[in-house]
């Protein structure tokens, strides 16, 4: 099988982001200057069971917004490239993930039709330097650049660290399943249209 890997370098006046993604596994590490975001990217890589290396330097003197959003875009672009024509993948994945008292649900369709449906009424403003609202911004950027239909629901929560972490893990598990090759597909593109 062709290696399912991609490297993306995205540089703007606001950020410089490098992402190396291997859909079939590998090293996971993240250095973005936002420690909690690194922790979440680490969870994303590990629980999606992919190789994921992220290096980002951004205008953190403003806030973490551009860095988080642009990392989502670069990761989505890497995902699109690594998936290629999407032959043989499962296409769909879903997960229900507890993190202590928090419970998050995610469903993904690697559809080529970007959409994020996000419901996570977390009351806290931030975890460390990471504004809780950036979770949605990251997932929106990932869905758009990665061509994902992504539904996320936070079903229970109290601690904001647990809540955000449950969301990242649920997305990771769902996405990791969706991008997995299914031998019963026989290398077909998983769409009645013949293209995704
Ligand atoms: Mn944690």
pLDDT tens column, 112-159: 999 999 999 999 999 998 999 999 999 999 999 999 999 999 999 999
Looking at residue 187, its pLDDT comes to 87
Check if the beta carbon of residue 104 is closer than 8 Å to that of residue 138.
no
- Is residue 4 predicted with pLDDT exceeding 80? yes
Q: Which residues pair with 150 in a beta bridge?
A: 108, 116
Q: Give Cα separations from 17 to 9, 38, 49, 139, 155 (angstroms).
A: 6, 13, 21, 16, 32
Q: What is the mean pLDDT of residues 82-89?
A: 96
Percent of the chain exceeding pLDDT 90 equals 92
- Is residue 1 predicted with pLDDT exceeding 70? no
**Angle ∠(84,88,89) on CA atoms, nearest 5:** 75
Query: Ligand 1 mean position to 134 CA, how many Å?
Result: 16
Query: Ligand 1 mean position to 39 CA, how many Å?
Result: 7
Query: Ligand 1 mean position to 118 CA, how many Å?
Result: 21
Query: Ligand 1 mean position to 66 CA, how many Å?
Result: 22
- Is residue 71 predicted with pLDDT exceeding 90? yes
* Matching CATH number, 5-185, of 3.40.50.720, 3.30.470.30, 2.10.60.10, 3.30.230.40: 3.30.230.40
Eight-class DSSP state of 125: -
Query: Ligand 1 mean position to 35 CA, how many Å?
Result: 11
Query: Ligand 1 mean position to 192 CA, how many Å?
Result: 40
The helix/strand/coil state of 40 is helix
- Is residue 70 predicted with pLDDT exceeding 70? yes
């Amino acid at each position: 099988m062709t290696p399912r890997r991609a490297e993306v370098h995205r540089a703007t006046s606001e950020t410089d982001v490098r992402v190396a993604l291997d859909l079939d596994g590998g090293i996971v590490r993240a250095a973005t200057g936002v420690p909690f975001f690194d922790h979440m990217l680490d969870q994303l890589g590990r629980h999606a069971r992919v190789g994921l290396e992220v290096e980002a330097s951004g205008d953190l003197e403003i806030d973490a917004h551009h860095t988080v959003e642009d990392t989502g875009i670069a990761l989505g672009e890497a995902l699109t490239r690594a998936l290629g024509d999407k032959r043989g993948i499962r296409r769909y994945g879903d997960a229900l993930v507890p993190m202590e008292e928090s419970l998050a649900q995610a469903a993904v369709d690697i559809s080529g039709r970007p959409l994020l449906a996000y419901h996570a009424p977390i009351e806290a403003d931030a975890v460390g330097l990471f504004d809780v609202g950036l979770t949605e911004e990251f997932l929106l950027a990932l869905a758009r650049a990665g061509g994902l239909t992504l539904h996320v629901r936070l079903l229970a929560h109290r601690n904001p660290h647990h809540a955000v972490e449950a969301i990242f893990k649920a997305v990771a598990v769902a996405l990791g399943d969706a991008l997995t090759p299914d031998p019963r597909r026989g290398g077909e593109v998983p769409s009645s249209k013949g293209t995704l």
